[in-house]
Amino acid sequence: MRTGIFFCQVEENNRLNVAAVAKYAANLPNVETVQELGIQPRLDAKDLAGLVHSGNLERIVIAGDMPGYFKPVFTKAMALAGHDPLEVRLASFREHGASGSTTLERAKAIVACAAFGVPFALAVVPGEKPVQPTTLIIGAGIAGIQAALEIADAGKPVCLVERFGTIGGHMAMFDKTFPTLDCSACILTPKMVSVAQHEMIRLLTNSEVIALGGSPGSYRVQIKCKARMVDVDACVACNICSEVCPVEVASEFDAGIARRKAVYIPFPQAVPNAYLVDAENCLYVQSAGKKCGACVKKCPKECIDLIQKDEIIEIEVGNIIIATGYDVLRADNIEHYGYGILPNVLTALEFERLTNASGPTGGKIVTKSLKLNKRTKQEEWIFDANGPAPKSVAIIHCVGSRDQNYNSYCSRVCCMYSLKFAHLVKEKLPGADCYEFYIDMRAFGKGYEEFFERIKHEGTFVIRGRTAAISELNGQMMVTGEDIIQDKLIQFPVDMVLLAVGLIPAHGTEELSRMLGLTRDEDGWFSELNYNGRPTDTEKGCIYVAGMCQSPKDIPDAVAQASAVAAGVLSSISSGKGIGHRGSVTLSEIEARAKSLQAK
Amino acid sequence: MAIRVNPKIIDDLEGYGAEDVHLCYHCGNCSAVCPHADEFNVFPRRPMRYLQMGLERKLETSLEPWLCYYCGQCSDQCPRGAEPGETMMSLRRWLISRYDITGIARLFFKSTKVELAAVIIVALLTGIFFLGFGFWQGDINVYDGSNAFLPSSFIHNFDLALGFLVALFIGLSAFRFWWFSMGGKSAVPIPWWLYIKKVYLLPWHFFTQKRFADCEKETTRRIYLPWLAHLGLMLGYVTMLFIVMVFVKQLQAGPEINWSVHVFGYLASLGLLIGAVYMLRGRLKKNRTQYQRSHGSDWIFLVLLFIIALTGVTQHILHRSGLLLAANIVYIVHLMVVVPWLLRMPFTKWAHMFLRPLGMYFSAVRNEALARQKSGIETTVQARKVA
């Protein structure tokens, strides 16, 4: 077939040398003409039809990052010239992953496949490798837990690695889920317990993956199991060690609004349900055994061993699932919201813990009160269950999201959890005024819009307009903003401000991506192989992504993606054929395969 | 009521410098941070909205752009990079061209090349005219007194004629400004006595630019430097204009006059030079948000002003030190810059000197009228409720 190849770009792409690809394309068999039309060319169907006619082109290939953008005009041109309009083929660099180190070769292969008229996915078949049955899951939040249970329930061994002392991730910190207002723990804790009790799941908490070797289907993974210093099997979680421990630090699980000891259990339902020692803050460990050691003496089960060392284990796994999740953006970077300066400006996670029945106030929503810290002899703002309840609460959406100064992307869950907060405030403090400041209400999921309507009916004031500043006037917090709908400036006093902070990839994501050789998108989230078609696969064979680490998503989506990954993993284990690295397929291999497919 | 929409206005404004208005998603952050936005003038978001919707007439009648001194806080915090501050600046340019009936302002703002060409042509014509005039009636080696190359009485009359022309066009622009915002095109009825009640604001804003000082409440520095530079430049300029227009004959009476009479001139020159250098430096270094983007007209404005101040000072020094030939040559150069500068005054950035205080005065009048209207409505409602 006489083929014409047209390079059209929608926007500039500095990573790809289009001229080199065009030069390569000109030497492909049956290629009559290759034209570089540049960025956003103004195309006229009649002119193109003339071109098709003069070159007697039977097939047109549009090559570019988003060639579909130009397809209509080329189809029309083919029809005008009296040729088959179905023979307009797309060579989409973005869709087929021409990025990273193999950009140029990959782009050439994509163009070649389109010119041969062979779907790219058929021509690129990474080698089929034998697969080890064990699956490694990095991160034991809801996505990791879900994937682990799915795979383990199918009878395949799973190794679940979690950096923190307990599994559960962020979902364990939440009070309610939106939009159903289910108790978060009621959904999660049974799953956590199942993980702990499952005979096919090897649970490694307080551990991190530190090195990766091997190849798809049989990876060798080194895992550093940090010293827990408490015997998980012997510990009965009696809390005596915590009572005697003299060290107090901010509790990670309580998002910093409560304090914990150096020997602690993150929360009462933790899995494994055993205490652990925070070596960085333990006096005994830091002084190399010269100080303290009180917990060892007091422990009735004698299960604390403060001289336990970190251990590095190596396991062999077939598939790897990454479910490392997210962190919240640091709100103190955003000066005009006064986080960290004004005591009653809280981030979403802090409020989530405050309103949680297992939180420091037992679920009572109160403002911070000034208390004397006996140890440091300084007054501190802390949450006290008997503190004053706020009379008015402002919830500010899009804090650090959709903002070119911070995250340009939408974090997707903030609108809905903010609405949930409004409901919780109204539920627990019916007399309090609640204000939602939003830019656009993104209630996109099943039942979400209805939830929004419900919140409005509950008496929450929903104000369209971003708050510009939170200031303090004579000890009273003031929010300043513009009410866009009413077209007026507003400033009024509030007692508590909740910042719906945006989400960022979990810390350590960068090192992990480097270790596994995975690419990340410009915002730092792991890149999936294909956004639409293969949202859980990655460039690397037998490595998958699930949950938040791929992009911000809500719990149902994270769970769905985790189950999808489990299906992929199970199919590769049961067929015994793992997928190799896609980048490893060379241009000549793709060409040869495309040619043979074309011949058929 | 039908509303006329001009969907092209947002593209049109690109030529005036506002390139990113379309990015705005109306979060209202800019209006909320603006220290000058008030109950009746919610900006910069409202004008941005008008632009996106193509409400040309609403923009024409709006006073908001004149209330902005461009401190840049809105642009700094804008989550979309829509540059609300720059949009307000561009709207001021656009409004100047709207008030101007000749169409020259539009031409100049749209094309810096045209403006530059016009400046150069007028400068050359001026140079030729004054050289010819000088050689025809005087001696290039004589600066003042009889047989002077450029006699001060002639310069004085020339200044007055030029000043009259400029005042005419500025007056016309000012009238159209009033007509658009307060008069025929305005929807708010304004009692005449409010104009008198608020008239003190005109000299107040003109001479103090107090609102600019309120622009940024910097805690580190007590005085807001851009305000000081702006005020110095403007006061120097006004003083110099006044001296030249009124006293040029007295001040150039001859070499024997007392130094002390020049004290105002010296202060004014200092203000001009320091102000111009501060702003030029700022625009070159882009060290503040308001200096990030410079329109061609900004550069022409500052560079010409700087040359005027520099040549003015130089010719004075040369004259005083007895280098009369050199003084005359520099004087010619000075006039070559001054004449185009004065002639383009009503059509360029310079017009904001009068239009901005006028806008603030109008705004105060209109705000009060609106407040009265609002309270009037409220009392009627209350009266009805009572009845």
pLDDT, tens digit, 9 for 90 and up, residues B192-231: 888 999 999 999 999 988 888 877 665 556 678 888 889 9
Residue A99 has pLDDT above 70, yes or no: no
Give CA–CA dist A522/A404, Å, rounded: 13
pLDDT, tens digit, 9 for 90 and up, residues A372-384: 887 778 888 989 8
Domain boundary among B99, B120, B154: B99
Residues B142 and B14 in one domain: no
Residues A48 and A101 in one domain: yes
Question: Tokens 């609004």 identify what position?
Answer: A257
Q: Is A466–B37 a contact, with Cβ atoms under 8 angstroms apart?
A: no
Number of domains in chain B: 2
Residues B62 and B132 in one domain: no
Residues B92 and B108 in one domain: no
Task: Return the percentage of chain A with pLDDT > 90, whole number.
Answer: 66
Distance from CA of A131 to the nearest CA of B (A): 48
Whether A303 maps to a domain, the answer reads no
**Which of A442, A489, A491, A492 to mutate against chain B (most B CBs within 10 Å)?**
A489
Residues B292 and B316 in one domain: yes
Residues B126 and B217 in one domain: yes
Residues A70 and A108 in one domain: yes
Residues of B near A (Cβ–Cβ under 8 Å) read 25-33, 37-39, 42, 45-46, 77, 79-81
A-chain CB neighbours of B289 within 8 Å are none
Angle between helices B324-344 and B112-137 (to 10 degrees): 140
Residues in a beta bridge with A264: A276
Angle between helices B152-181 and B225-251 (to 10 degrees): 140
The SS3 call for residue A570 is helix
The domain containing residue B295 runs over which residues?
A: 104-366
pLDDT band at B255 (very low <50, low <70, confident <90, very high): low
Whether B380 maps to a domain, the answer reads no
In this structure, the number of other CB atoms found within 10 A of the CB of residue A316 comes to: 14
B-chain CB neighbours of A405 within 8 Å are 77, 79
Residues A83 and A157 in one domain: no
Residue B384 has pLDDT above 80, yes or no: no
Residues A454 and A388 in one domain: yes
Whether A481 maps to a domain, the answer reads yes
Nearest-CA residue of chain B relative to A403? B79
Residues B133 and B188 in one domain: yes
pLDDT, tens digit, 9 for 90 and up, residues A541-594: 899 999 999 999 999 999 999 999 999 999 999 988 888 887 778 888 888 888
Residues B83 and B109 in one domain: no
Distance from CA of A539 to the nearest CA of B (A): 33
Residues A19 and A91 in one domain: yes
Torsion of CA A188, A193, A199, A200, to 10 degrees: 20
Interface residue A484 vs chain B (CB under 8 A): yes
Q: Is B29–A466 a contact, with Cβ atoms under 8 angstroms apart?
A: yes
Interface residue A415 vs chain B (CB under 8 A): no
Q: Which residues contact A432 (CB under 8 A, 6 or more apart)?
A: A389, A390, A391, A392, A393, A425, A426
Residues A211 and A268 in one domain: no
Give the pLDDT confidence score for residue A529 in this predicted structure: 81
Mean pLDDT for chain B overall:
88
pLDDT band at A166 (very low <50, low <70, confident <90, very high): very high
Give the pLDDT confidence score for residue A16 in this predicted structure: 84
Paired sense of beta strands A319-322 and A543-545, if any = parallel
Are A19 and A35 in contact by the 8 Å Cβ rule? The answer is: no
Interface residue A466 vs chain B (CB under 8 A): yes
Give CA–CA dist A136/A180, Å, rounded: 32
Give the pLDDT confidence score for residue B256 in this predicted structure: 65
pLDDT band at A467 (very low <50, low <70, confident <90, very high): confident
Residues A332 and A467 in one domain: yes
Residue A249 has pLDDT above 70, yes or no: yes
Give CA–CA dist B346/A504, Å, rounded: 52
Q: Is B32–A336 a contact, with Cβ atoms under 8 angstroms apart?
A: no
pLDDT band at B374 (very low <50, low <70, confident <90, very high): confident
pLDDT band at B254 (very low <50, low <70, confident <90, very high): low
Interface residue A465 vs chain B (CB under 8 A): yes
Q: Is A404–B42 a contact, with Cβ atoms under 8 angstroms apart?
A: no
Residues A490 and A346 in one domain: yes
Three-class SS of chain B? CCCCCCCCHHHHHHHHCCCCHHHCCCCCHHHHHCCCCCCCCCCCHHHHHHHHHCCHHHHHHCCHHHHCCCCCHHHHHCCCCCCHHHHHHHHHHHHHHHHCCCCHHHHHHHCHHHHHHHHHHHHHHHHHHHHHHHHHHCCCCCCCCCCCCCCHHHHHHHHHHHHHHHHHHHHHHHHHHHHHHCCCCCCCCCCHHHHHHCCCHHHHHHHHCHHHHCCCCCCCCCCCHHHHHHHHHHHHHHHHHHHHHHHHHHHCCCCCCCHHHHHHHHHHHHHHHHHHHHHHHHHHHCCCHHHCCCCHHHHHHHHHHHHHHHHHHHHHHHHHCCCHHHHHHHHHHHHHHHHHHHHHHHHCHHHHHHHHHHHHHHHHHHHHHHHHHHHHHHHHHHHHHHC
Residue A445 has pLDDT above 60, yes or no: yes
Q: Residue A196 to residues A199, A201, A233, A268, B275: CA-CA distances in angstroms?
A: 8, 8, 12, 15, 73
Mean pLDDT for chain A overall:
91
Q: Which residues contact A121 (CB under 8 A, 6 or more apart)?
A: A96
pLDDT band at A600 (very low <50, low <70, confident <90, very high): confident
Distance from CA of B272 to the nearest CA of A (A): 36
Are B33 and B73 in contact by the 8 Å Cβ rule? The answer is: yes
Residues B134 and B200 in one domain: yes
Domain boundary among B84, B99, B114: B99
Give the pLDDT confidence score for residue A464 in this predicted structure: 93
Interface residue A480 vs chain B (CB under 8 A): yes
B-chain CB neighbours of A410 within 8 Å are none
Interface residue A335 vs chain B (CB under 8 A): no
Whether B384 maps to a domain, the answer reads no
The beta-carbon neighbor of A404 closest among B39, B46, B79 is B79
B-chain CB neighbours of A411 within 8 Å are none
Task: Return the percentage of chain B with pLDDT > 90, whole number.
Answer: 49
Distance from CA of A405 to the nearest CA of B (A): 6
φ, ψ for residue A165, nearest 5 deg = -75, -15
pLDDT band at A325 (very low <50, low <70, confident <90, very high): very high
Range list of H helices, A92-233: 103-116, 120-123, 142-153, 184-197
Distance from CA of B24 to the nearest CA of A (A): 11
Q: Which residues contact A526 (CB under 8 A, 6 or more apart)?
A: A322, A505, A509, A513, A518, A519, A520, A538, A545, A549, A550
Whether B383 maps to a domain, the answer reads no
Q: Is A466–B46 a contact, with Cβ atoms under 8 angstroms apart?
A: no
Interface residue A442 vs chain B (CB under 8 A): no
Nearest-CA residue of chain A relative to B78? A403
Number of domains in chain A: 4
pLDDT, tens digit, 9 for 90 and up, residues B264-319: 888 999 999 999 999 999 999 988 888 888 888 899 999 999 999 999 999 888 88
Residues B59 and B169 in one domain: no
Q: Residue B10 to residues B5, B15, B17, B22, B150: CA-CA distances in angstroms?
A: 11, 10, 11, 8, 49
φ, ψ for residue B87, nearest 5 deg = -65, -40
A-chain CB neighbours of B39 within 8 Å are 488-489
pLDDT band at B373 (very low <50, low <70, confident <90, very high): confident
Residues B266 and B185 in one domain: yes
More confident of the two residues A374 and A38? A38
pLDDT, tens digit, 9 for 90 and up, residues A497-533: 999 999 999 999 999 999 998 888 889 999 888 787 7
Interface residue A478 vs chain B (CB under 8 A): no
Helix, strand, coil distribution of chain A in percent, nearest 5: 30, 25, 40
Kindly report which listed range (A264-268, A517-521, B114-118, B127-131) carries the lowest average pLDDT score.
Answer: A517-521
Residue B116 has pLDDT above 90, yes or no: yes
Residues B176 and B274 in one domain: yes
Three-class SS of A447-468? CHHHHHHHHHHCCCEEEECCEE
ipTM above 0.90, yes or no: no
Task: Return the percentage of chain B with pLDDT > 70, whole number.
Answer: 95
Whether B386 maps to a domain, the answer reads no
Tell me which DSSP letter residue A388 carries. Answer: P
**Which of B29, B42, B217 to mutate against chain A (most A CBs within 10 Å)?**
B29
B-chain CB neighbours of A489 within 8 Å are 31-32, 37-39, 42
Residues A13 and A94 in one domain: yes
B-chain CB neighbours of A468 within 8 Å are 28-33, 77
CATH of the domain at B292: 1.20.950
Whether B287 maps to a domain, the answer reads yes
Give CA–CA dist A585/A146, Å, rounded: 32
Give the start-end residues of each E strand in A466-563. Answer: 467-473, 476-483, 488-494, 496-501, 503-505, 543-545
* pTM as predicted: 0.85
Residues A287 and A375 in one domain: no
Residues A529 and A566 in one domain: yes
Residues A369 and A512 in one domain: no
Give CA–CA dist A178/B60, Å, rounded: 47
Residue B386 has pLDDT above 90, yes or no: no
pLDDT band at B253 (very low <50, low <70, confident <90, very high): low
Window 276-305 of A: residues touching B by CB (8 A cutoff) are none
Q: Residue B275 to residues A215, A273, B69: CA-CA distances in angstroms?
A: 68, 71, 16
User: How many contacts (CB atoms, under 8 Å) link A and B?
Assistant: 63
Domain boundary among B38, B70, B99: B99
Give CA–CA dist A133/A131, Å, rounded: 6
Are A590 and A175 in contact by the 8 Å Cβ rule? The answer is: no
The domain containing residue A82 runs over which residues?
A: 3-125+585-599
Query: Which residue type does A496 have?
Result: M
Residue among B41, B73, B218 nearest A468 (CA): B73
Nearest-CA residue of chain A relative to B31? A482
The beta-carbon neighbor of A466 closest among B28, B39, B42 is B28
Whether A304 maps to a domain, the answer reads no
Whether B326 maps to a domain, the answer reads yes
Q: Is A468–B29 a contact, with Cβ atoms under 8 angstroms apart?
A: yes
Are A437 and A397 in contact by the 8 Å Cβ rule? The answer is: yes
Give the pLDDT confidence score for residue B186 in this predicted structure: 66
Q: Find the mean pLDDT for residues A343-354.
A: 95
Distance from CA of B228 to the nearest CA of A (A): 26
Interface residue A483 vs chain B (CB under 8 A): yes
Q: Find the mean pLDDT for residues A124-151.
A: 92
Paired sense of beta strands A433-438 and A392-399, if any = parallel
Give the start-end residues of each E strand in A342-466. Answer: 345-347, 369-373, 378-382, 392-399, 433-438, 461-464
B-chain CB neighbours of A481 within 8 Å are 28-29, 32
B-chain CB neighbours of A414 within 8 Å are none
Q: Find the mean pLDDT for residues B124-149.
A: 86
Are A51 and A4 in contact by the 8 Å Cβ rule? The answer is: yes
Whether B371 maps to a domain, the answer reads no
Q: Find the mean pLDDT for residues A339-358.
A: 93
pLDDT, tens digit, 9 for 90 and up, residues A39-96: 888 888 899 999 898 888 999 999 988 888 899 999 999 999 989 888 999 998 877 7
Interface residue A403 vs chain B (CB under 8 A): yes
Give CA–CA dist A436/A419, Å, rounded: 8
Interface residue A404 vs chain B (CB under 8 A): yes
Residue B18 has pLDDT above 60, yes or no: yes
Give the pLDDT confidence score for residue A187 in this predicted structure: 94
Whether B52 maps to a domain, the answer reads yes
Q: Is A481–B28 a contact, with Cβ atoms under 8 angstroms apart?
A: yes
Residues B305 and B342 in one domain: yes
Give CA–CA dist A56/A2, Å, rounded: 7
pLDDT, tens digit, 9 for 90 and up, residues B89-100: 999 999 999 999
Q: Is B32–A466 a contact, with Cβ atoms under 8 angstroms apart?
A: yes
The beta-carbon neighbor of A487 closest among B29, B30, B46 is B46
